[in-house]
Amino acid sequence: MDKPKKRVMIGILGSQLDAGRGAKRWEKWRPTVAMHQQTDVMIDRTEILHAASHQPIAALVREDIISCSPQTDVRLHEMQVKDPWDLGQVYAALFDFAQRYPFDTEHEEYWIHITTGTHVAQICLFLLTEARYLPGVLLQTSPPRRQDGSSPGHYGLIDLDLSRYDQVAVRRQSELQEQRSQLKAGIPTRNTAFNRMVDELSLIAVRSSAPVLLMGPTGAGKSFLAQRLYELKKQRHQLSGAFVEVNCATLHGDGAASALFGHVRGAYTGAAQDRAGLLRSAHRGLLFLDEIGELGLDEQAMLLKAIEEKRFYPVGSDTEVQSDFQLIAGTNRNLAQDVRAGRFREDLLARIKLWTYTLPGLSERREDLAPNLDYLLEQFSAQQGQRIHMNKEARDIYLRFAASPAALWSGNFRDLSASVTRMATLANQGRIDTPLVQHEIQRLQRDWQALGAEPATLQTDSVLNKLFSEQQLAEMDLFDQTQLETVISVCLKSASLSEAGRTLFAASRARKAQSNDADRVRKYLLKFGLQFEQIRAAVQ
């Protein structure tokens, strides 16, 4: 049986309501003190925030709390606020307190007292609690009908619906931007679809504990994003346990259920001792099941029960165990097709697909090559303790190739990471030059060819035939046909003219303060009498 959590009250000193001297102060209802006079609740620790000028009142309130509740640990915190009615100052001071405070949600519960302090302070406490910077519930107290010291009044744990102030909304927007940046590890990505997905995930991460399903090709970054989501949730005190990652493709036979759900000694031949299993290791944390489509049907049924009930049977046990974990699942398969083929349980898919996102492969995010290249170089430099950089010519050559149709990126970001690691390792005195980049490009092409990968073809010849007559094509240089085929290929892959421009000019746009890539593509197409919409309509 779990040990009861300690109860912690956090509140602001009421300079008027909590004030009082002499014996008569015990006949007056003082909210902070009165809460410790309640006969049906025990406060283990009380944190009182106060202005410097109210130190004498705070000290007396502390003494009075201890006198009526000796078991309570009372701590005073001085707030640096010049104007208690200035929303920005008060919010900043309380936000800083919340950031510094060592919350322990696994062993403590927090009651945020909003009866005392200015109305501005009460609003700020509400907003910080609603945003989970203060991971607790709101506490409101009220006086008894007769203030003669015979009753401590009333209290209640409540929820409020207060409108936001513009200044707070601006600060909250800044915090949301920090959340999005954290999910991207600070990488300034440019892909519209990816950024839109991250924006939504940054909200879901702090508002929902439901499972998340990340789909996409191998190497698209599902594991990386799951780790960042865990770190964001933990920062918001929503998780206190570990991040547990398992590739379900590595689980086979009898060992699959044992690895996930644990087993008891003697459950099968070779089970010499009890095993907790990965689900229990993820208690109060986050479990990332990559390639969930590789799980067997029996394990899928056990997982469904564990997700819904937070309880399950270890292999060979007649006694249920519990684990309160949050789940992120990853797959590169079409699970809906697997359901139709009888390889995946329909009820499990229904349970994990509430929040479903498809991560685009690197070939669909060519405009993000430059920022990811910089990130990987900085990461390698930090790990090796040596600054690695590319000269301008080498960088331009690499990015030009990386953004071209000749770069397949069949392994997605794993290919890019491996490529950067090789160049950084071979760099002479930490400097990646042109010959090294050219050698790496040849290596990448050989590797892709060895795997049987070929550049994707979109039948651009047939599109050209639809867009131009035989006579027009006969009068067009082969150079122009080849270049135009590449541009058309990118346009057919892009949802908009702007997206096509970002892909085609990924390298050069990184060096410009302002760029109008869509206009550059539009003007190029007009040289041949073409329009973006006309090209897309030609393949319908």
**pLDDT over threshold 50, residue 160:** no
User: CA-to-CA distance for 282 and 260, rounded, in angstroms?
Assistant: 10
Question: Per-residue pLDDT for 490 more than 50?
Answer: yes
Q: How many CA atoms lie within 13 A of 152 on its CB side?
A: 16
What's the confidence (pLDDT) of residue 263?
A: 85
Q: Pairing relation of β-strands 212-215 and 243-247? A: unpaired
Contact 366, 509 (CB under 8 A): no
pLDDT tens digits, one per residue of 385-426: 888 989 999 999 999 888 888 888 999 999 999 999 999 999
Task: State percent of the chain over pLDDT 90.
Answer: 50
Q: Is the pLDDT of residue 437 over 70?
A: yes
pLDDT at residue 510 is higher than 70:
no
Confidence of residue 492 (pLDDT cuts 50, 70, 90): confident
Q: Which of 88, 138, 132, 87 is nearest to 112 (CA)?
A: 138
For range 162-173, the mean pLDDT: 51
Rounded to an integer, the average pLDDT of 184-210 is 85
Give this prediction's pTM: 0.61
Question: Which of 65-79, 91-105, 317-331, 503-517 bottoms out in mean pLDDT, i.e. has the lowest?
Answer: 503-517
Q: What is the mean pLDDT of the chain?
A: 87
Q: Work out the pLDDT band at 2, boundaries 50, 70, 90.
A: low
What are the tens digits of pLDDT across the range 30-59? 999 999 999 899 999 999 999 999 999 999
% of the chain surpassing 70 pLDDT: 92
pLDDT for res 166 = 53
Task: Name 406's Cβ contacts closer than 8 Å, sequence gap at least 6.
Answer: 445, 455
Q: What is the DSSP letter of 529?
A: T
DSSP per residue over 31-77, as a string?
Answer: HHHHGGG-TT---SEEEEEEEGGGHHHHHHHHHHHHHH-TT-EEEEE
Model pLDDT for residues 53-76, shown as the tens digit of each residue: 999 999 999 999 999 999 999 999
Choose between 429 and 3: higher pLDDT.
429
